[in-house]
Amino acid sequence: MAEETLHAPMPGAARLAEPLRSRWSPSVFDAAHRLPADDITTLLHAAQWAPSQGNLQPWRYVVCERGGVAHAVLVPHLSRGNSGWVPRASLVLLALTQVADDPHRAPDAKPVDPAVNLYCTGQATAHLTLQAHAMGLYAHQFQGFDKEAVADGLGCPAHWQLVAGIAVGVRGDPAEVSERDQERDRRVRSRKDLAEIAYGDAWGAPWSPGRMAP
């Protein structure tokens, strides 16, 4: 199967706008590719300009460039499944969200709502990943790593929680990676039906398209 047929667009995605339509998460990155600093800055601007409740922007990103200090902190703590493909990416960004009040907050500061902050951080990260794809790059998010050990190694304060990593880069040669990563890269993408995720008249009652008069 041709690569573009295998990965995207998938059924139902054909009418989506780019870069949503063709986004997917590869597991084969080009380990020789380096991302220019300007491109990294642009990715961070995409997260910076995401909406957030009260414009609080409750996210932080640690930039892990291959060969850099933060990258060296991360790599030994990757899960077995992620340890092959993540280090080959040109860049890893680590996303953190504020989960508790800053011990030095102003007395009149609003208390932190960790659920809303997590929602906002996910949204900022989504913007970042789509910006990456619009720039001809690929992004693959991952949770499989020892987040506490990495947060500790980076000196992150306790009221910030490390939630995910985002590996960014360009596609590499599958022949250079393990059979397992090749298999992951070729995996057929699938989704739940809309009837399972979109409700109409009540919880669990699938929304039916075209039921209302236009």
Ligand X SMILES: Cc1cc2nc3c(=O)[nH]c(=O)nc-3n(C[C@H](O)[C@H](O)[C@H](O)COP(=O)(O)O)c2cc1C
Q: Counting contacts by CB under 6 A, is residue 132 touching ligand X?
A: no
- Whole-angstrom Cα distance, residue 28 to residue 169? 9
- Dihedral, 42, 44, 46, 51 alpha carbons, nearest 10: -160
Q: Please tell me the number of Cα atoms within 13 Å of 15 on its side-chain side.
A: 1
Q: Counting contacts by CB under 6 A, is residue 142 touching ligand X?
A: yes
Stretch that binds ligand X, among 58-66, 100-108, 142-150, 200-208 (CB under 6 A): 142-150
The CB-of-207 to ligand X minimum distance in angstroms stands at: 22
Among 41, 101, 102, 143, binds ligand X (CB under 6 A): 143
Among 84, 87, 114, 144, binds ligand X (CB under 6 A): 144
- Whole-angstrom Cα distance, residue 108 to residue 116? 19
Nearer Cβ to ligand X, position 55 or 190?
Answer: 190
Q: Counting contacts by CB under 6 A, is residue 166 touching ligand X?
A: no
Among 25, 48, 83, 123, binds ligand X (CB under 6 A): 25
Determine whether 173 is exposed, middle or buried from the number of CB atoms within 10 Å of its CB (0-12, 13-18, 19+): exposed
Q: Please tell me the number of Cα atoms within 13 Å of 166 on its side-chain side.
A: 29
The CB-of-157 to ligand X minimum distance in angstroms stands at: 22
- Whole-angstrom Cα distance, residue 193 to residue 73? 40
Query: Total binding residues for ligand X by CB under 6 A?
Result: 10
In the bound state, the residue with its beta carbon closest to ligand X is 144
Q: Counting contacts by CB under 6 A, is residue 59 touching ligand X?
A: no
Sheet containing strand 160-169, strands side by side: 59-65, 91-98, 160-169, 138-142
Among 141, 161, 169, 181, binds ligand X (CB under 6 A): 141
Among 152, 124, 153, 117, which residue's Cα sits nearest to residue 139? 124
Q: Counting contacts by CB under 6 A, is residue 82 touching ligand X?
A: yes
